[in-house]
Structure 1
């Protein structure tokens, strides 16, 4: 009886550990954030009434997965493997993540050429260099990563994400980039910028220790939250101007969810709060649009 009880106790402990391991793998392998990029790309098609291009969405997914795992390539290349880091999961599986990054790059390139995506190759390369250079110095030790430039990193994130998830699918679909498309891009830029500010709050101590000036370091954590909420309010103004009916209701609802996440953000919140909820606000955004148009 004791052995059976011990087995049951062990099984009961193993299930939460398994769930935790799966959640960590999903979040810290960047599969989750790449999925957010995939669905935001799909959302662009839904909002514009254009037929969904799965190859384009997969290209965005794989490109995002590559970019977010390039630091693992750098660490593996340098043989860097310090224990006790905040990024313990990423350090533990850095070789596997480096392999994922390389396979994602191969997959993205294959889709680009096999399906003949109609987005300028040099623009793709430029955004790739900006994205990789955000965390990895392109000349390694000679130049600091772009995230070290004062106040720049949130704008880089918003710019790349809005271009890739809005303008890429529209250009690939041969849609003329005029006022309507630019307003959609501006909306996405503001929404992503509001969320990106939360990661400045998360990284406040790290950025201060590395002498990187960010908005929390300039105006404080509280005012950074207010700035994020102001951006969401401006986003709602544009949404109200460009949408109506169920889509407007859905986008307003998604913005309210994002606002709650912003309001409760603080440096003391665990990293999973940002990895799951702040990034997850993008999935909520897609879900409300999808339901509004279903």
Structure 2
């Protein structure tokens, strides 16, 4: 049992789970835009997510969980460098256009951690922008770049999907901001710090309503699209309102991060049911 617990902790702490969540969102995009040749990009996004998230979590700037992870850091470092090496290898097999569109999101990830501004700050420490930077990066990597990679139609539905994904990511980040209230400096001015926990949940609920209603304006609308969006909205709402300042260790880092994977499963199941 202890061995299984160690494997699970490594799975979560090494960012494999969040990388799967990001890959699931890429898969959701591919399904919605009927892309069948996206395996290479899926693999690339998975490897890049492991490298990027571990870079953000375990850099010198972020020391939140270092003491707890001292024993497993060697394995995490190896996985990070291995993933980065494979990412670089497969990146060279991508088209120049795909890499050019991916580049700004890679830069944002680096600037999120590395202090390059005049006051030796980084994007994460600029008041009020942390959650929106993450939402921009996730939206770019899971919607914009995959559609460009697949040379799919960047039509009105693409615009709506991009807006929806941005709103969805913001909502998914709110439980983390509530969790980190006791760790985050007050200078960050996160949403829960600014308006409180209850109003943060109300704010997230409003975003989810907008996320759901935007589905209705899509030009190509199916029963699968409607039902899957309703279900993922409901699940997200439940996790949002179930978030507390004092929560179980893996509430956010496993369960909330599982919502994109649930979305993919829902989409695949409904497609099979309605096909």
**Paired position in structure 2 for 1:217:** 193
Are the structure 2 counterparts of residues 40 and 71 from structure 1 closer, same or farther at C-alpha, using a change threshold of 3 Å? closer
State the SS of the aligned residue for 2:188. Answer: coil
Structure 2 SS opposite 1:93: helix
Matches of 1:285 and 1:141 in 2, distance apart? 41
Matched, 1:106 2:85: yes
Greater RCO between the two (CA within 8 Å, min separation 6)? 2
Aligned partner of 1:182 among 151, 154, 159: 159
The question of whether the paired residues in 2 share the 8 Å contact of 1:26 and 1:32 is answered with: yes
Matches of residues 1-294 of structure 1 in structure 2 within 5 Å?
Answer: 15=1, 17-71=2-56, 74-75=59-60, 86-114=65-93, 116-117=94-95, 119-134=97-112, 136-139=113-116, 143-208=120-185, 211-242=187-218, 243-294=221-272
Q: How many angstroms does 1:121 deviate by?
A: 2.9
Number of residue pairs matched? 270
Distance of 1:87 and 1:20 partners within structure 2 = 18
Give, in whole Å, the separation in 2 of the partners of 1:103 and 1:151.
Answer: 34
> Would the alpha carbon gap of residues 52 and 238 (structure 1) be closer, same or farther in structure 2, given more than 3 Å must change?
farther
Q: What's the TM-score once normalised by structure 2's chain length? A: 0.90
Instruction: Report how far residue 71 of structure 1 moved.
Output: 4.3
CA apart distance, 1:178: 2.7
How large is the Cα RMSD of the aligned pairs?
Answer: 2.3
Query: Once the two structures are superposed, what CA deviation does each residue of 1:18-49 show, in whole Å capped at 9, x if it has no partner?
Result: 22212211111100000111111111111111
Equivalent residues of 1:202, 1:271 under 8 A apart? no
Unaligned runs of 5+ in 1: 1-14
Conserved 8 A contact 1:118-1:171? no
Q: Structure 1 residue 138: deviation in Å?
A: 4.3
